[in-house]
Structure 1
Amino acid sequence: MLTRLLFLLLLFVSGISSASLLSQQRLPAQYMQTTEDAAIWAQVGNDVVNVGNVRAGQILAVVPAAADYYEFRFGFGTGFIDKEHLEPVQGKMRVEDGLGDLNKPLSNQNLVTWKDTPVYNAADNSSAPFGTLSANLRYPILSKLKDRLNQTWFQIRIGNRLAWVSSLDAQEDNGIPILTYHHILRDEENTRFRHTSTTTSLRAFSNQMAWLRDQGYTTLTMYQIEGYIRNKINLPARAVAITFDDGLKSVSRYAYPILKEYGFNATAFIISSRIKRQPQKWAPKSLQFMSVSELKGIQDVFDIQSHTHFLHRVDDNKHPILLSRSYHVILFDFQRSRRDLAQFNPHVLYLSYPFGGYNDNAVKAANDAGFHLAVTTVKGKVKPGDNPFLLKRLYILRTDSLETMSRLISNQPQG
């Protein structure tokens, strides 16, 4: 088993994505039957993990693969099952398609599992079990129905098989939180920004990150958020994206070492015109911005993305100046920001609107400038099918308790 897992890990380290393996081989799928209860594996986030099992006697559509595994469709990617657990379908046995149309597209809805979750062959607890989904998964739903007891069932597809999960065993996915931070200071040095909502204490930030680690959260890149929104990748249930706007020096001084210690990653949305040529001496009473070397020094944790070039300002009425600029001015600024940030990242594909301000011109310019997604300061989570240029985020304030944080980011509908 260890040798086989190492083979899988080497595939992904070498850059072969799970979603592309089936398409690369272009081999016809064949139906095979499990001879015993069989563990199944798939890539979830950055890791190849055990994602559940299939019971003996179940039929799956699989594709021959290298080593000792077959591949099959699992969610938005590829699953793997040991060849020793499968045999050709005997006689005239075939997959029954009476449960629905296997060819219909996936919806923009997922379920999330918090425990090992039973999967059934019909929307009935007394039906034959198909297998189990592991805890901490998001899995695409085809449709929902209510049984005679008014219980909701989720229809899913695994290896070209239709199967069912009870809403008593799993929840609907209410979205992934993107957390927003700006400035971090020690309490004793924060004499100027104590009452600004965008300044977080070092103690609060450290406690919040420790809580995420202790609760088993995975931190996501914006590339993964894009894959989630576009229904392209499998992600864990406990997942969060961490973002910092502006590019302040406190990010490299305080946020970076904490995130690095916990093995987390984050996104830094940088105002490209404010990058310093040389690091500045630390002065907590001022708003200082990172230098070229400081930005390069945090890139093992932070992905560098755009917070515009010259548009991060307000007018005399305290409104973002972006709202009064023409489409062509906004487009030029967005393009300039992408060019200037290319020294840190050749894939500047994501934008944070200054002060969360946007209008039709800004949205069109973001798309035309080559951005794939843009985030706002509108409160909420992101879900598949959301407008990619109007993504919501969440603030966790320095005064928020960990109970408040848990309530904000948990899988509950946002009011």
Structure 2
Amino acid sequence: MSRLITLLLLLITCSTSASIVSEQRIPAHYMQTTEDANIWAQVGDKVVTVGNIRAGQILAVVPGAEDYYAFRFGFGSGFIDKGHLSEVKGNQRVEDSLGDLDKPLSNQNLVTWQDTPLYTAPDNRSEQFGTLAENLRYPIIDKLKDRLNQTWFQIRIGNRLAWVSSLDAQEDSGIPVLTYHHILRDEENIRFRHTSTTTSVRAFTNQMNWLRDQRYTTLSMYQLEGYVRNRMNLPARSVVITFDDGLKSVNRYAYPILREYGFKATAFIISSRIKLKPQKWDPKSLQFMSVSELNSMHDVFDVQSHTHFLHRVDDGMHPILLSRNYHNILFDFKRSRRALAQFNPHVLYLSYPFGSYNDIAIKAADDAGFHLAVTTVRGKVKPGDNPFLLKRLYVLRTDSLETMARLISNQPQG
């Protein structure tokens, strides 16, 4: 426990440690491991063991806390106990002929489901550099096929290059962003029984239970942004849970379930529909949350924007956003951010109304100060995606848990 506390303090006091290592503001020097050594890093919001480096390997490190050195690990910093390192002996140098250390990352990651061996060459007969722990996403620099047509991924750790076999890890197909709206008990759902955006309490409970049993981490939109922009290390088993509109049923049913499981979620709120006082519960109508109900969910839900007045359709049942000019849309987006600031000073993310958008809306979202915007286009989010056209996934009330598993598993979406 004391070791984790030390590392947490290190990460807090050295919040720029990732940039220190990657930008080399503090000169790095090479040191050699004297024995097999565990390494740690921040993955998501936790400090975890992320693998080990074999004895005799050389790493570029920079001074860390009293007991640790820091080194480049993915999109952040890793840490290694100083007691496992010594000065490089004699004239021994690093001879990495495996590629260009300054080569930019490729917007691709691998994912590990088990402890994964790292090799010094794209050959499983070569020397082992170390291992990556299970449940990691790690950036790929390059990939190639060997003489047996096996794919190898090239990665970088502590300014050293290493190789991972595709037999041991997979390419990252992206992070699933799940979309929900309305939650009702089966016996009270009379009006919305055949509405695809209404989920039963039983189905939602089963889905969240499955995510917990499969050890998924629920990410915030801030963490998703770090992933899209290649700025953050995240677990392989990651998912984002979002709710659109701001309906009262989210507070009544979804919130206690998510809180019980220790999950986080994002509520995209139509800011003009927030009620001053809670309404008496009526499952036969669409009711919106009040100020107090939104405030009561801060431990689980992060409040973000679903526009202010633009969540409407015209006489032809077309989303009105598509017929508004730039200045109208920009005004609405900014007004929504101001209205929601009472719940969250960092309203940086937008969900387009009905998933509708055009080039004007995309520009307005950017100019209004949003960092990301999500759509209803089916698919997962990948590094390098257009930040204002992020895809999401629906898990329907009628979907089995097997369907859900296929939907969010690390497989490309068709």
Taking structure 1 as the reference length, the TM-score comes to: 0.98
After TM superposition, the structure 1 = structure 2 runs for residues 379-394 of structure 1, keeping only pairs within 5 Å, are 379-394=378-393
Q: CA deviation at 1:3?
A: 2.5
Q: 1:130 to 1:382 in 2, by over 3 A?
A: same
Could you tell me which residue of structure 2 aligns to residue 165 of structure 1? 164
Measure the CA separation in 2 of the matches of 1:14 and 1:120: 33
Q: 1:285 to 1:263 in 2, by over 3 A?
A: same
Measure the CA separation in 2 of the matches of 1:20 and 1:11: 14
Q: Where in structure 1 do 4 or more consecutive aligned residues deviate above 6 Å?
A: none
Could you tell me which residue of structure 1 aligns to residue 367 of structure 2? 368
Corresponding residue SS for 2:231? coil
Measure the CA separation in 2 of the matches of 1:296 and 1:15: 32
Aligned length, in residue pairs: 414
Aligned CA RMSD, in angstroms, stands at 1.3
Could you tell me which residue of structure 2 aligns to residue 181 of structure 1? 180
Measure the CA separation in 2 of the matches of 1:83 and 1:215: 35
Q: CA deviation at 1:318?
A: 1.5
Measure the CA separation in 1 of the matches of 2:408 and 2:286: 29
Corresponding residue SS for 2:256? helix
Deviation sequence 1:191-240 (CA, Å, 0-9, x none): 00000000000000000000000000000000000000000000000000
After TM superposition, the structure 1 = structure 2 runs for residues 234-273 of structure 1, keeping only pairs within 5 Å, are 234-273=233-272
After TM superposition, the structure 1 = structure 2 runs for residues 4-403 of structure 1, keeping only pairs within 5 Å, are 4-12=3-11, 16=15, 18-20=17-19, 22=21, 26-403=25-402
Measure the CA separation in 2 of the matches of 1:127 and 1:192: 64
Measure the CA separation in 2 of the matches of 1:268 and 1:211: 21
| 2:120–2:128 contact (8 Å) kept in structure 1 | yes
Measure the CA separation in 2 of the matches of 1:25 and 1:10: 21
Measure the CA separation in 1 of the matches of 2:254 and 2:134: 30
Corresponding residue SS for 2:272? helix
Q: CA deviation at 1:15?
A: 8.1
5+ long unaligned stretches in structure 1: none
Q: Which amino acid aligns with 1:76?
A: F
| 1:181–1:395 contact (8 Å) kept in structure 2 | yes
Could you tell me which residue of structure 2 aligns to residue 414 of structure 1? 413
Deviation sequence 1:15-42 (CA, Å, 0-9, x none): 8365245479932101000010000000
Percent identity over paired residues? 80
Measure the CA separation in 2 of the matches of 1:15 and 1:259: 32
Q: CA deviation at 1:6?
A: 1.1
Q: Which amino acid aligns with 1:368?
A: D
Corresponding residue SS for 1:280? coil
5+ long unaligned stretches in structure 2: none
Deviation sequence 1:28-85 (CA, Å, 0-9, x none): 1010000100000000000000000000000000001122110000000000001010
Measure the CA separation in 2 of the matches of 1:18 and 1:273: 41
Corresponding residue SS for 1:204? helix
| 1:40–1:52 contact (8 Å) kept in structure 2 | yes
Corresponding residue SS for 2:263? coil
Compare 265-274 and 19-28 and name the one that shifted more. Answer: 19-28
Measure the CA separation in 1 of the matches of 2:200 and 2:290: 22
Deviation sequence 1:81-102 (CA, Å, 0-9, x none): 0101000001111111311100
Q: Which amino acid aligns with 2:29?
A: Q
Q: Which amino acid aligns with 2:65?
A: A
Measure the CA separation in 1 of the matches of 2:6 and 2:408: 35
Compare 313-322 and 296-305 and name the one that shifted more. Answer: 313-322
| 1:311–1:354 contact (8 Å) kept in structure 2 | yes
Q: 1:5 to 1:67 in 2, by over 3 A?
A: farther
Deviation sequence 1:120-159 (CA, Å, 0-9, x none): 0000000000000000000000000100001000000000
Corresponding residue SS for 1:346? coil
Q: CA deviation at 1:14?
A: 6.2
Measure the CA separation in 1 of the matches of 2:16 and 2:255: 29
Corresponding residue SS for 1:62? strand
| 1:19–1:233 contact (8 Å) kept in structure 2 | no
Q: Which amino acid aligns with 1:363?
A: I
| 1:4–1:67 contact (8 Å) kept in structure 2 | no
Measure the CA separation in 2 of the matches of 1:9 and 1:170: 28
Q: Which amino acid aligns with 2:365?
A: A
| 1:4–1:68 contact (8 Å) kept in structure 2 | no
Measure the CA separation in 1 of the matches of 2:3 and 2:20: 16
Q: 1:227 to 1:175 in 2, by over 3 A?
A: same
| 2:22–2:72 contact (8 Å) kept in structure 1 | no
Measure the CA separation in 1 of the matches of 2:12 and 2:156: 27
Measure the CA separation in 2 of the matches of 1:160 and 1:17: 18
Measure the CA separation in 1 of the matches of 2:17 and 2:168: 27
Q: Which amino acid aligns with 2:173?
A: N
Deviation sequence 1:343-367 (CA, Å, 0-9, x none): 1111100000000000011000000
Q: 1:393 to 1:194 in 2, by over 3 A?
A: same
